[in-house]
Structure 1
Amino acid sequence: VVSGAAGTGKGTVNASLMKNHPGYCFSVSATTRAPRPGEVDGREYHFITKEEFERAISEGNVVEYTQYCGNYYGTLKSELEKLDEGKNLILEIEVEGAMNIKRLYPDSVTVFILPPDYETLRSRLVGRGTNAADDIERRMKKALYEFTLVKNYDYAVVNHSGMADCTAEAIASIVESEKHRVSRAPGAVEEMFFLGREESK
């Protein structure tokens, strides 16, 4: 589970992960907002109606969701089926959704991507050229709030400007290390070296 405030570069980092690591795939979120120019259904988002989204919620087919500017955003349960293929599934979601995922799936690994500092984050948002001044202030305020919740994540990684590939490699290393955590395979050592030996004595 990867989170990060607007301007932290999480999308670029996740793209690098999937480009350089074939074992990773992206969880495509569902939304009720209209597609933007160039967006393709099933690639950037699953674009569905408000009625379809609310029906999916009532039927228990939405793992987590939030509302933003009058639109729903969330993760469909069907996306998690990619885990059955042995893939490392990347969920790029908001803080609230990440905590819901962690509560429902305690073994999930949560990573928060941070900017190097406050001014870098602001300059990235300004540099986009697509955000009005009041929108930038709103995003900065939201970012500061989200930073107070980083303590609830398993890991925090700083994404320095122009270093998205390095940040992606850091996350890949975290995931690989987590696979070898002893608590993820209780009884594995006993099964490898002791099970059956006692019975054969």
Structure 2
Amino acid sequence: MGVDESPCRPQSLDMENPSRRGLLIVLSSPSGAGKTTISRKLMEADPTITMSISATTRAPRPGEEDGKDYHFVTDEAFQHLVDEGELAEWAYVFDHRYGSPKEPIKEALKAGRDILFDIDWQGTQQLRSAFGNDLVSIFILPPSMKELERRLHDRKTDSEDVIAGRMRRAAGEIGHWGEYDYVLVNEQVEDCLSEVQAIVTAERMRRNRRPYLTDFTRQLVERPNN
């Protein structure tokens, strides 16, 4: 009697990297709460996660490369992207415009690649409107406002006036915590990083991000003895 060599499960389940839909990961926080550090450590620990490359109207800074750090465009070109609906989200930041092109995001989702976004609550709302359940949003809180101010001073990158402005904005930003899927308190960076990684792992396993399960479960029922 011959052996049926046809696979009982999708080929993707036999691969090291099972087929799944990609994930859009948003990390937001007030300046100084640890978002940038956690983003860097997250990508260092998992090179499959890449940072979204935004389009911007500001000029390149020393060492920045077009297409690697940002897509540097003119005001006219940026406005064209806005008018044509080619940006998933965009905003003014310190007199310059920044935005996330839609097409690279769509391609990444289809290919099962995960993209990290460093955007505020307004950008997060726009991104959710464009991509819905493909997005997971995480808001990072400082353990206290006093600690937030201390961290801003410890960076030694801003003047007292700038720090005061960041603290004023922090209160308004924190007020939007309820609009996020997850809210973490960053008391210790490594602990907060572990929590972010746990969220990403769980979100990757959601049913809607593993489309091959439909065929796999059907095969289990139709061929119970294989």
Length-normalised TM-score, structure 1: 0.85
**1:52-71 Cα distance to aligned partner (Å, 9 max, x none):** 11111111111100112221
Match of 1:159 among 159, 182, 186: 186
How far off its partner does 1:184 sit?
5.5
Moved more, 177-186 or 102-111: 177-186
Residue matched to 2:177: 150
Match of 2:200 among 158, 172, 175: 175
Change (3 A) 1:192 1:119: farther
- Counterpart check, 1:56 vs 2:81: yes
Matches within 5 A, 1:31-110: 31-80=56-105, 81-107=107-133, 108-110=135-137
**1:93-121 Cα distance to aligned partner (Å, 9 max, x none):** 11100011112222110111222211111
- Counterpart check, 1:120 vs 2:147: yes
How far off its partner does 1:171 sit?
1.3
Match of 1:7 among 32, 35, 38: 32
Give the count of matched residue pairs: 195
How far off its partner does 1:181 sit?
3.4
How far off its partner does 1:177 sit?
1.1
How far off its partner does 1:153 sit?
0.3
Change (3 A) 1:39 1:123: farther
Q: 1:166 & 1:50 partners in 2: Cα distance? A: 41
Residue matched to 1:23: 48
Root mean square deviation of aligned Cα: 2.3
Please, which runs of 5 or more residues in structure 2 have no aligned partner? 1-25
Residue matched to 2:158: 131
Q: 1:112 & 1:33 partners in 2: Cα distance? A: 27
Q: 1:84 & 1:90 partners in 2: Cα distance? A: 16
**Which amino acid is the alignment partner of residue 58 of structure 2?**
R
Report % sequence identity: 36
**Which amino acid is the alignment partner of residue 53 of structure 1?**
F
Q: 1:4 & 1:49 partners in 2: Cα distance? A: 29
**1:135-172 Cα distance to aligned partner (Å, 9 max, x none):** 212111111111110101000122235x2x43233212
Please, which runs of 5 or more residues in structure 1 have no aligned partner? none
Moved more, 148-157 or 34-43: 34-43
Length-normalised TM-score, structure 2: 0.77
> Higher relative contact order at CA 8 Å, sep ≥6: structure 1 or structure 2?
2
**Which amino acid is the alignment partner of residue 143 of structure 1?**
A
**Which amino acid is the alignment partner of residue 78 of structure 1?**
E
**1:24-67 Cα distance to aligned partner (Å, 9 max, x none):** 11111121112233333333322211111111111111110011
Q: 2:66 & 2:120 partners in 1: Cα distance? A: 20
Match of 1:140 among 158, 167, 173: 167
